[in-house]
Amino acid sequence: MAGAGIAPSRLYLSVMRHHGRMDARFLGITALAETPSVAVVVDVMRAFTVAAWAFARGAEKIVLAESLDEALALKDRHPDWVALKDGPPAPGFDAVNSPALLRSAGFGGRTVVQKTTAGTVGALAVKEASLVLCAGFVVAEATARLLRARECDSVTFVVTGEDGQADEDLACAQYIAGRATEAVTDAAGFLRRAAGSRAATELAEGVRQGAHPDDVALCLELDRFPFAMVATVEDSLMVVRPRAVPSPAGAWSGVTAGD
């Protein structure tokens, strides 16, 4: 696999699946010249780690907002919805984009509206794709299993952070691509890259607002949740829902509530 320091817009990988070949591309948001058939949008720190925690805490669905104004407008129309954003707390928003600050929240049956700097932008950029998955390390294996189940021949991994240069997102995307081929893939090196990324450093040093000291560790919890996150257009809104992806042994049959 291609390593750190190579622009994702230049990365193209052909990997062998159990039943054939899977072509994987790794692109930044601005490098998306056309709508892919299958897209895996990766935002490890922190949008899609937060989304997974929201589902684990009982959220029914997550609506991805185009802008802060749209998020607030949706909240105004649906006062029972939970509005969430990057950065520090702000009037009209109920939560910030921090997994540690959400892990004890209760969202039973509620809708979350999410607007972030990179993750939600990346998912909206590929909303016309036939399959859109939102991913981070916390749902990596379930995401890979879903790609395997669909026998996807071509997958575009959208590396959302830092204009496609975020190594935590590229590392996660490359790990999922490897697992989607049913290869024995050692996660340790990919997790080390993510832990040493610029985003991890800034979160650890308190540079980013609306963060918690535990955020980095939570973003690097491999396969914390056994569901994938599928985004589809519903009534003109981009909506993410958890998708149960049982293990081959069928050991899991529902979304857990977390601890």
Q: What is the pLDDT of residues 229-245, one digit of tens each?
A: 999 999 999 999 999 98
Q: Which residue has tokens 């535990």?
A: 214
Range of the domain at 174: 8-239
Residues 6+ positions from 49 with CB-CB distance below 8 Å? 43, 99, 136, 137, 138, 218, 219
pLDDT mean over 68-76: 98
Residue 1 maps to a domain: no
Residue 215 maps to a domain: yes
Residue 2 maps to a domain: no
Whether the per-residue pLDDT at 52 is higher than 80: the answer is yes
Residue 256 maps to a domain: no
pLDDT mean over 158-179: 96
Q: Judge contact between 100 and 258, C-beta under 8 A.
A: no
Span 198-222, pLDDT tens digits: 999 999 999 998 999 999 999 999 9
Span 2-25, pLDDT tens digits: 343 444 544 554 444 444 578 999
User: Can you give the CATH number for the domain in which 38 is found?
Assistant: 3.90.1560.10
Residue 247 maps to a domain: no
Residue 229 maps to a domain: yes
The number of folded domains in the chain is 1
Residue 34 maps to a domain: yes
Residue 255 maps to a domain: no
